[in-house]
Chain A
Amino acid sequence: MSITEPAAHPLYLSPDYASTVLRAPSRGLLEFPADPEAMELTGPVFGEGEVTPGDADLTTGRNGDPIGERIVVTGRVLDAAGRPVRNTLVELWQANAAGRYDHPGDVHPAPIDPNFSGAGRALTDDAGEYRFVTIKPGPYPWRNHHNAWRPAHLHFSVFGTAFTQRLVTQMYFPGDPLFPFDPIMQSVRDEAARARMVSAFDWDTTVPEWALGFRFDIVLGRTPVEDA
């Protein structure tokens, strides 16, 4: 049985996303050595102190309330067997409600929000669950092709328990009309796999009189030797 889930992930070379053309490896990958002692099968271990309580709330910490639609984003980090990945670090970054990143490279003529940095982090709990409070990001234009717009998304970075599980992905919002036109989302060729990047609106996460809730579970890959 193959260790790979190739249809679940983009190819390196996805020419509709122009930046892949000069950056995609061209020689084929080397099979991961079947060595149960390989360092890649371990990873950082996180404890108390890795995050401080305010880190998971992107709506506080500056002088005032950020503009936009307050949302709660929560979900579980799971391994391929469905087990919760506890105490793992989740890093998040995103555009503000107007679709603008607080980054010098972003020249989209939309306002910076002085009360929104767009960065947060959290540790998962004993159930593998993380929870962020943030602002729903806006879509934004990019210069990949004529009239190119990214669907609204959150950037997620997750560690897991092995270096081989390291994952950076993007979380999208349900029903976005930009999905079919986005080469980054469409770089994932399998429709069911694309759907796993789309969060679900959730009444149980929604806080009355305060914020809509979205659920986004993150499943990390099998480690090569688990399967060997």
Chain B
Amino acid sequence: MSALPPTPSQTVGPYYSLGLPYAGDWEAVPEGTPGAVRMTGRVLDGAGAPVPDAVVEIWTGRPGGVRARGPEGSGFARCSTAPAGAYRLRFVPPAGPYVPVLVFARGLLKPVATRAYLADDPFLAAIPDGRGATLRATWTGDATLEFDVRLQGEGETVFFDYGTGG
């Protein structure tokens, strides 16, 4: 079968909040769901400054759509970092060791793709230069995690190639 070339990616720009946020978008599962955790963090730029116009998305593999969520919630959640560069997400950890994370922002012509690992994993140890540590979320309580995304420079988060190149 002949392949069609893809539609190029473009930035979400500064006004994504017209189209992307929705009520309860940061909650992949409802409050009080057994096993739910809350992950918080910041998106930081190459100068170490918080990025106040980014969108962080996670996918945790539960069935169901995005806005139309059943009583069990959805496997997807989205949080804008406006106004202070910080995000929060509530989800039930998936069976595997990590949660896939995408970050969109003004100034990102395509999203960055990373993973928040919730436990140590041999995959992290195999990443060169000790950079696997950037993918390890930190437990700050029984059900709370911290995970910062550094877009550039010192401590730059490891990003994956989803097929759109560097």
Contact = CB atoms under 8 A, between A and B. Distances in A.
Contacts of B6: 5, 8-9, 80, 167, 196, 219-222
A105 B14 contact: yes
Contacts of A118: 18-19
A93 B161 CA distance: 27
B72 interface: no
Name the prevailing secondary structure of the B interface residues.
loop
Interface stretch (B84-92, B97-105, B138-146): B97-105
Contact of A3 (B9, B47, B102, B163): B163
Given A5-B5, A44-B59, A168-B104, A155 B16 contact: yes
Interface size class of A (residues with CB under 8 A): 35 or more
B18 A11 contact: no
Interface residues of B, number: 71
Interface in A92-128: 92-95, 101-103, 105-106, 117-121
Interface in A171-228: 184-185, 187-188, 192-194, 196-197, 217-224
Contacts of B96: 37, 39
Given A9-B110, A27-B159, A221-B6, 11 more contacts: A5-B5, A10-B9, A12-B108, A21-B46, A24-B107, A33-B123, A48-B68, A81-B4, A93-B15, A193-B8, A219-B4
Interface of B: 1-20, 45-47, 49, 51, 57, 59-61, 63-68, 74-76, 94, 96, 98-100, 102, 104-113, 123, 127, 131, 151-153, 156-166
